[in-house]
Structure 1
Amino acid sequence: MSKLDFKGKHVVITGGNSGLGLALATALAKDGARLTLMARNAAKLETAAADITAAHPGAVVQTQSLDVTDEAAAAKAMNAAAEAQGGIDALINNAGILREGYFQNLAAEDFRQVMEINYFGVLNATRAALPHLQKSKGRLINVASVAGLVGAFGYTPYCASKHALVGLTSCLRYELEPMGITVQLVCPAEFDSPMVDELDKSRTPENRAHVLTIPKSTMDGIVAGVMKGLTTDRYEIVPTGMARAAVKASRLAPGMLRRAGNKAIAKVYQGPAASSL
Structure 2
Amino acid sequence: MSTPAAPKTVLITGTSSGIGLAAAVLAAQAGWQVVATMRDTAKAGPLRRAAAEAGVEDLVQVKRLDVVDPASIDTCLEELLAEHGRLDAVVNNAGAGQVGTIEQGTVEDVRATMEVNFFGVVQVTRAVLPHLRASRGRLITVTSVGGVVGQPFNEAYCAAKFAVEGFMESLAPVAATAGVAVTLVEPGAVASEFVNSIGVDLPAMLTAAGPYAPALQTYVERTVKSFSTAQTQAEAAAPITEALTTERPAFRVQTSDWARDFVATKLTDLDGSAVQAMTSAWVG
TM-score tier by shorter-chain length is 0.7 to 0.9
After superposition, what is the alpha-carbon deviation per residue over 1:70-89, rounded to whole angstroms, capped at 9, x for unaligned? 12321221121122112111
1:227 and 2:241 equivalent?
yes
1: CA distance, partners of 2:38 / 2:180: 24
Supply the distance in 1 between the matched residues of 2:149 and 2:57 (Cα, whole angstroms). Answer: 42
Question: TM (normalized to structure 1)?
Answer: 0.85
- CA gap 1:58/1:107 in 2 versus in 1, 3 angstroms: closer
Aligned partners of 2:97 and 2:197 also within 8 Å: no
State the partner residue of 2:232: 218
Do the aligned partners of residues 261 and 57 (structure 1) sit closer, same or farther apart at CA in structure 2, a change above 3 Å counting? closer
1:11 counterpart SS class: strand
Gap runs ≥5 in structure 1: 1-6, 267-277
- Preserved CA contact (<8 Å) 1:141 1:185: yes
CA apart distance, 1:263: 2.5
Separation of aligned partners in 2, 1:206 and 1:132: 47
1:250-271 per-residue CA deviation (whole Å, 9 max, x = no partner) reads 11134223212213322xxxxx
Task: Check the 8 A contact 1:188/1:243 in 2, yes or no.
Answer: yes
> Which whole-Å deviations, capped at 9, do the CAs of 1:80-102 have from their partners, x for residues lacking one?
11221121110000000011013
8 Å contact from structure 1 (residues 147, 163) kept in 2: yes
> Are positions 1:52 and 2:61 aligned together?
no
Residues 1:121 and 1:58: Cα distance change in structure 2 (over 3 Å): closer
Equivalent residue, structure 2, for 1:10 = 9
Give the whole-Å Cα distance in 2 for the aligned partners of 1:141 and 1:245.
22
The residue number in structure 1 matching 2:119 is 120
1:109 aligns with 2:108: yes
2:250 partner SS: coil
The one-letter code sitting in structure 2 at the alignment partner of 1:205 is: Q
Residues 1:172 and 2:171 aligned together: yes
> Who is 1:24 aligned against?
23
Deviates more, 1:70-79 or 1:9-18: 70-79
Which residue does the alignment assign to 2:252? 236
Residues 1:255 and 2:269 aligned together? no
Change (3 A) 1:44 1:132: same
Q: CA deviation at 1:185?
A: 0.5
* Kept in 2: contact 1:32–1:59 (CA 8 A): no
Q: Secondary structure at the match of 1:59?
A: helix
Q: Residue type matched to 2:82 in 1? A: E
With over 3 angstroms needed to count, the CA separation of the structure-2 counterparts of 1:22 and 1:252, relative to structure 1, is: same
1:87-106 matches, within 5 Å, as 87-106=86-105
Q: Which range moves more in the overlay, 184-193 or 228-237?
A: 228-237
Aligned-pair distance for 1:177?
0.6
How much does 1:228 deviate?
A: 3.8
Would the alpha carbon gap of residues 193 and 264 (structure 1) be closer, same or farther in structure 2, given more than 3 Å must change? closer
Corresponding letter in the other structure for 2:148: L
1:171-203 CA-to-partner distances (Å, cap 9, x unmatched) read 110211110001000111121235664438627
CA RMSD of aligned residues (A): 2.3
Q: How does 1:197-208 map to 2 (within 5 A)?
A: 197-199=196-198, 202=202, 204-208=216-220
- 2:262 match: 246
Change (3 A) 1:219 1:235: same
Aligned-partner SS, 1:118:
helix
Task: Look up the match of 2:156.
Answer: 157
SS state of the match for residue 140, structure 2?
strand
User: How far off its partner does 1:225 sit?
Assistant: 4.0
Contact 1:209 1:265 in 2 (8 A): no
Which sits farther off after the overlay, 254-263 or 234-243? 254-263
- Cα displacement string for residues 181-237 of structure 1 (whole angstroms, at most 9, x for unaligned residues): 010001111212356644386273343366577963322331234434544311101
Closer, same or farther: CA 182–142 of 1 in aligned 2, 3 Å:
same
Q: Classify the secondary structure of the residue corresponding to 2:100.
A: coil
State TM-score, norm by structure 2: 0.83
